Chain A
Amino acid sequence: MKAIVHVQLKPGVLDPQGQAIAGALASLGYDEVTGARQGKVIELELSGTDHALARERVEAMCGQLLANMVIEQFSVEILD
């Protein structure tokens, strides 16, 4: 089993890297880009087969370490 964790800054938290990406894309002529937010993806290899349990535990991992809840939010995908 595999868990894919997306961690991103919460809306409202300044994201200079996202801004820089949006700026760079605009200067390349991609006028349709009106904003960008950068985040990170963490892939976890998991043992076991119980998706619900896995999700519960990965969410705990996020709260405890993988995301800083002061500034970040996360989402979890569980795959086989």
Chain B
Amino acid sequence: MRVAVIVFPGSNCDRDVAEAIAQVTGKQPIMVWHRETTFFDVDLVILPGGFAYGDYLRPGAMAARSSVMRHVLDHAKAGGLVLGICNGFQVLTEIGLLPGALLPNAGMKFICKPVKLKVTRTSTPFTGSFTKGQYLDIPVAHHDGNYFAQKDELSRLEDNEQVVFRYENNPNGSINDIAGLSNVSGNVLGMMPHPERAMVHGKTRGDGYKLFNTLMEMIR
């Protein structure tokens, strides 16, 4: 599996996710600086967590307009896989690859804690080896994870079964408990929880590992 991790000046989970990928695939992903204008040919593009441009203006707003994103759009439109984690999810909504927007948490505070996620869509390359209704333990760490979509948009994405993960105990006020969302065809996934922080669970493999491993098997 060939993977690219996009690095914005304020990304701070880029190294963590690159190491998670290396752990699963045995291969270092390529790190792509946000100003990159030349094409890179990979199976999966990851938009990592962090504060791409300090979250100034709106989280993800400026990152969505950087030059590398044109390639990410083309890659997604051609059916390539895109995973946006936390800040990456915010970038994906800002650029319109995913519907809706991420608002400040209802409690107006940053939240860093483990959460339980329910898998609600398995027809994506990210979740193909999970079963519907299965629970995953993956932590969140964000200030703006409160997913919002206007009514008709929301019913449309529910009808299309685009919701991939829902919170068991909603930590941030997200509408319909949405924690992770894909596009209709399932090749683009945005999620607030951090799978790269769930690589181990005690002495065994964590659910984040399982998610990346699923991806690798799906592609192979």
Contact = CB atoms under 8 A, between A and B. Distances in A.
B108 interface: yes
Contact of B103 (A20, A65, A66, A71): A71
A79 interface: no
Interface string B30-70: 00000000000000000000000000011001100100000
Contact-residue bracket for chain B: 20 to 34
Interface in B70-120: 93-94, 99-101, 103-108
Contact-residue bracket for chain A: 10 to 19
Interface of B: 57-58, 61-62, 65, 93-94, 99-101, 103-108, 146, 148-150, 173
B108 A70 contact: no
6 contacts: A14-B146, A14-B173, A16-B105, A65-B57, A65-B65, A68-B101
A65 B89 CA distance: 17
Interface of A: 12-14, 16-17, 20, 64-66, 68, 70-71
B93 A70 contact: yes
B102 to A, nearest CB: 9
A20 B93 contact: no
Contacts of B173: 14, 16
Contact of A17 (B58, B65, B108): B108
3 closest A-B pairs by CB: A70-B101, A71-B101, A16-B108
Contacts of A12: 150
Contacts of B107: 16
A65 B57 CA distance: 9
Contacts of B108: 16-17, 20
Given A14-B106, A17-B104, A68 B58 contact: yes
A68 B103 CA distance: 11
A49 B218 CA distance: 58
Contacts of B105: 16
A65 B53 CA distance: 13
Contact of A13 (B61, B62, B94, B103): B103
